[in-house]
Chain A
Amino acid sequence: MSVATLPAESTPASERVARAQAIARKRWLRTRWGLSAPALVIIGLFGILPLMIMVIYSFLEAGEYGGVVWNFSTDAYVSFLFQRDIFDGTLAFSPDYLIIYLRSIALAFATTVICLALGFPTAYFMATRPPHRRQMWVFLITIPFWSNLLVRTLAVMLIIRDEGLVNDLLIWLGIIDKPIVLLYTNFATMLGLLYSFLPFMVLPLYASLEKMDFRLVEAGFDLYATRGKVLRRIIIPLARPGIVAGCLLVFIPAIGAYVTPLILGGGKHLMIGPLIALQFGSSRNWPLGSAQALILMVGVMIALLFYVRSATGKAQALHG
């Protein structure tokens, strides 16, 4: 640097400095790429490549015993909405897959809303405990993660089946005299999803509420805001990042859930996850499975784009 401060007549010197700087910059760039390489390789190998395979497979013909035949075809996408008549080959609209998608969306949406309704008070309660106790509450919330999801889902099944805990209890109490069918319904699936994903809602909500300065709540009270108004005007807007994160973390895995709808929803109330698995399993239609997975992914991405934009954009419109 001291060279750069020399008078202007020593042009060769300043050129040398510029060259040295260019070399240093190149070296720095090389180091940067070098250090990022492991991450880039992992993203490419396990993120982008599988996605590309999926996209390519969805435009191929299905092999007879699984796998794909390397002929370009849009059959997978066509058969998502239409059914080809076996005899004359005409296409007829068939909403079967669409119904499964809509059911998945409805169940995932309901799960998210109920998770938010249950998770917000829970997270608020945790965030308002004395600091040394909060760790314990976070710990308690994470306990379900310690056992396998499959086992926990089977446990839910034991609780809600016809001879399960709930029905036995209700019969014993004399409230009903024959079991209510809970298992293998949409309700059962939603209950399972709710149970599995509630911690994913509580933890981000807790994180944003815990950071909140509770003197702002006092300031709200001081400025004549009632409890309800403090909640709507101060606490919820400040917790918005947590609400957005929690909703995403519940909705996305819920819409593609596999284990829960498989075990609790039974065959009649299929969701997207088991449907896609079916294409790669007994249906042996890999292109259709790939297409279904892609349709879900694109749909979720578009929905998220709108959700995140409206959730943050509204905040700006309201307060900007």
Chain B
Amino acid sequence: MADIAAVEARAVTKIFGAGAEGVRALDDVSVAIRQNEFFTLLGPSGCGKTTLLRLIAGFEQPSSGEILLKGSPVEHLPPYQRAVNTVFQSYALFPHMTVAQNISFGLEMRGAPKEKTGSVVEEMLALVKMTGLGNRRPSQLSGGQQQRVALARALANHPEVLLLDEPLSALDLKLRQEMRSELKNLQRRTGITFVFVTHDQEEALTMSDRIAVMSKGKIQQLGAPLDIYERPVNRFVADFIGDTNFIEAAVDGREGDFVHCRVEGGLDFLAHPTGNPAPGAKVTLAVRPEKILLKAGGGLGTVAQTVYVGTDTNYEIRLSDSLRLNVRVQNAMDGRAQFAIGDKVGIDVPPGAARMLVD
């Protein structure tokens, strides 16, 4: 049983509009979301992540391909017959009902007796830490509280899959960070499969078991947060997740597990190879700013700019007219930046810190 995917999309394509004006929101997407998984669809707006969510919920029908819930196809089922519930981006709480009525709505629609809905409502209010607020109206709640009610309303139905459409985007930073760990805890405790849509890479990295990075209606990369961050497969993923230096380099030859690459200006990289590039081939390397080490007194680069960001300082190191690197260095114990503008610095890139990209 555990092998059956909680949600599966098979070659799903969704086209909005018709003919030449049709917009391909999803392009032949296949993905299997495991049971009890915190799965995130991550991508910029317009990448198709919300469309995929709406297809799973049943608000839209795929143009081709099929959606399966626990192994059975659901295209023919309207949203109210699918064992999934949604937390909407703007919460979509019913303004004419109280918090308790909002939470019990789903149970009531499925004909649960009053005594049962009452106890579930109390249980859900406790779960989202809103005990005693059952008689309030949504308009009397803060954004964070509305968010919790939306969660409680969806979870009250004990869905097999909970769909969350950018649920944190309307909250302020502090609250957003709190809700992140709360959501993650909630998912662990309830064991419900979460499908979470966001454009915020930090949310995705901190909460997810697996992430699907989407762009232009396709899944660009699917993997654990560590994989996505450390081993981006293409330029889009490397660029979208975290900060990255993109460096044009020429392949020199293999050196053990790595490929030796040469960059104009005399910088050498031992990069993770992708495929089997021939010596002399032009490639793009991706290096995270925090993986580059700076040494005082070297002659390779000059500090062109420093930006203090609290724990770290971001340096812009000028190597040549065409090559500048962003480097992130943790500040010394006294909080002082280690280098100043104009300092000559040496640059050290450990083997494997650079990754060769496909495009």
Chain A residues close to B by CB (< 8 Å):
213, 215-216, 218-226, 229, 233-234, 237-238, 315, 319-320
Cβ-closest chain B residue relative to A222: B86
Interchain CB contact (< 8 A) of A222 among B57, B97, B101: B57
B223 at the interface (CB under 8 A from A): no
B88 and A223 contacting across the interface, CB-CB below 8 Å = no
With A223-B157, A224-B80 as given contacts, are A229 and B109 in contact (CB-CB < 8 Å)? yes
B110 at the interface (CB under 8 A from A): yes
B88 and A218 contacting across the interface, CB-CB below 8 Å = yes
CA distance A320 to B136 in the complex (A): 9
* Chain A residues within 8 Å of B93, by CB: 219
* Chain A residues within 8 Å of B59, by CB: 218, 221-222
Q: How far is the CB of A241 from chain B (nearest CB, A)?
A: 11
Chain B residues close to A by CB (< 8 Å):
57-59, 78-81, 84-86, 88, 90, 92-98, 101, 105-106, 109-110, 153-154, 157
Interchain CB contact (< 8 A) of B92 among A218, A229, A233, A315: A218
4 additional contacts (CB under 8 A) given A220-B94, A224-B81, A224-B106: A222-B79, A222-B80, A223-B85, A233-B105
CA distance A320 to B106 in the complex (A): 19
With A215-B88, A219-B86 as given contacts, are A225 and B105 in contact (CB-CB < 8 Å)? yes
B98 and A319 contacting across the interface, CB-CB below 8 Å = yes
CA distance A229 to B79 in the complex (A): 13
A219 and B94 contacting across the interface, CB-CB below 8 Å = yes
Q: How far is the CB of B18 from chain A (nearest CB, A)?
A: 15
Cβ-closest chain A residue relative to B156: A223
CA distance A248 to B67 in the complex (A): 49
CA distance A213 to B109 in the complex (A): 20
Among B58, B79, B81, B153, the one with the most A-chain Cβ atoms within 10 Å of its Cβ is B79
CA distance A220 to B110 in the complex (A): 12
CA distance A220 to B101 in the complex (A): 12
CA distance A213 to B80 in the complex (A): 19
With A213-B92, A218-B79, A218-B88 as given contacts, are A223 and B101 in contact (CB-CB < 8 Å)? no
CA distance A226 to B105 in the complex (A): 12
B80 and A221 contacting across the interface, CB-CB below 8 Å = yes
B88 and A315 contacting across the interface, CB-CB below 8 Å = no
A225 and B92 contacting across the interface, CB-CB below 8 Å = no
Among A218, A221, A223, A237, the one with the most B-chain Cβ atoms within 10 Å of its Cβ is A223
CA distance A320 to B57 in the complex (A): 30
Q: How far is the CB of B330 from chain A (nearest CB, A)?
A: 45
Cβ-closest chain A residue relative to B97: A319
Interchain CB contact (< 8 A) of B96 among A224, A229, A319: A319
The 13 sampled A-B contact pairs (Cβ below 8 Å) are: A218-B88, A219-B93, A220-B94, A221-B58, A221-B78, A222-B59, A222-B84, A223-B105, A223-B157, A224-B157, A225-B80, A225-B105, A234-B94
Among A213, A218, A222, A226, the one with the most B-chain Cβ atoms within 10 Å of its Cβ is A222
* Chain A residues within 8 Å of B80, by CB: 221-226
* Chain A residues within 8 Å of B154, by CB: 222
CA distance A291 to B168 in the complex (A): 64
Q: How far is the CB of B58 from chain A (nearest CB, A)?
A: 8
Cβ-closest chain A residue relative to B110: A224
B92 and A215 contacting across the interface, CB-CB below 8 Å = yes
A238 and B96 contacting across the interface, CB-CB below 8 Å = yes
